Amino acid sequence: MTTREPEWTEQDRAEVLALALYRRELCPCGCGHRYADTTSPEATGPRFAAERVVCRARLALMEAQQAAETSDPAIAGSRLWLVRMVGR
Ligand SMILES: [Zn+2]
């Protein structure tokens, strides 16, 4: 009889459960804030301010995809893109 280590430790299970509980509290719109905060009354809840930043990795990806445009949907649909950090 072979005894194997369990694939999931108690710690793993506890961390996955904690992550699930955390994610369940988040607003479903994708803003990254807690649902209780984003849907709280305006008079008593926290205030929010939006600002814009550019993800330069995403920008590099978009520029590379634009430069590599093709009219062949098979080629376009089968490309796998990745963005590497190539220096500071
Ligand atoms: Zn939201």
Alpha helices per DSSP H over the chain: 10-24, 35-38, 56-67, 73-78
Under 8 Å CB-to-CB from 47, ≥6 apart: which residues?
Answer: none
* Residue 20 pLDDT: 96
- Spacing, Cα 13 to ligand 1 middle (Å): 28
- Spacing, Cα 36 to ligand 1 middle (Å): 10
- Spacing, Cα 37 to ligand 1 middle (Å): 9
- Spacing, Cα 27 to ligand 1 middle (Å): 4
Give the three-state DSSP class for 59: helix
* Residue 26 pLDDT: 97
- Spacing, Cα 88 to ligand 1 middle (Å): 33
* Residue 1 pLDDT: 74
> In whole angstroms, what is the distance from residue 70 CA to residue 39 CA?
44
For the chain, 88 residues long, the average pLDDT of each consecutive 10-residue run is 84 96 96 97 97 97 96 95 94
Q: Which two tokens stand for residue 10?
A: 């108690």
